[in-house]
Amino acid sequence: MKRFIQSSPDGVLKIGWAVLKNPALLKPLWKTFRELAHSVSENKNEPDIPETELLSISVSPEARQGGIGSRLLAALEQALKNRGINQYKVIAGQKLEGANKFYRKNGFVLAKQIFIHGNEVSNVYVKAI
């Protein structure tokens, strides 16, 4: 979150504008920020979790199982390599079986589990590229 704020003032402004247009967004935004802050572990024995993160990837239900998602990941990974980034993370809710299966199938390794949005367990996956 800190890196996003520092490196993307445009993104911060867009979020701020969205909240101004719809103040009801403030509560879930604050909750997410607070939960992320609480999910940071002080355990020095846990694996290194990269800062670079895939926030979202989506393929329409009609187009799934055709390799489009894997091709999107390949394009992202090429762009990351071009920037000198050799690993990244993604967070998926534990209950999202399809998403978890997709990430494991595409070479992501479960690094740890965290709590986001209350008591919901989320899996933090890391992939070396």
Domains of the chain: 1-40 (no CATH), 43-129 (3.40.630.30)
Identify the segments of the chain with pLDDT beneath 70.
1-7, 31-47
Per-residue model confidence (pLDDT) at position 42: 45
Per-residue model confidence (pLDDT) at position 88: 97
Per-residue model confidence (pLDDT) at position 1: 54
DSSP state of 66: S
Per-residue model confidence (pLDDT) at position 40: 47
Per-residue model confidence (pLDDT) at position 10: 78
Contact 125, 90 (CB under 8 A): yes
pTM over 0.75: no
Per-residue model confidence (pLDDT) at position 41: 45
Which pairing describes strands 109-116 and 53-54: parallel, antiparallel, or unpaired?
Answer: unpaired
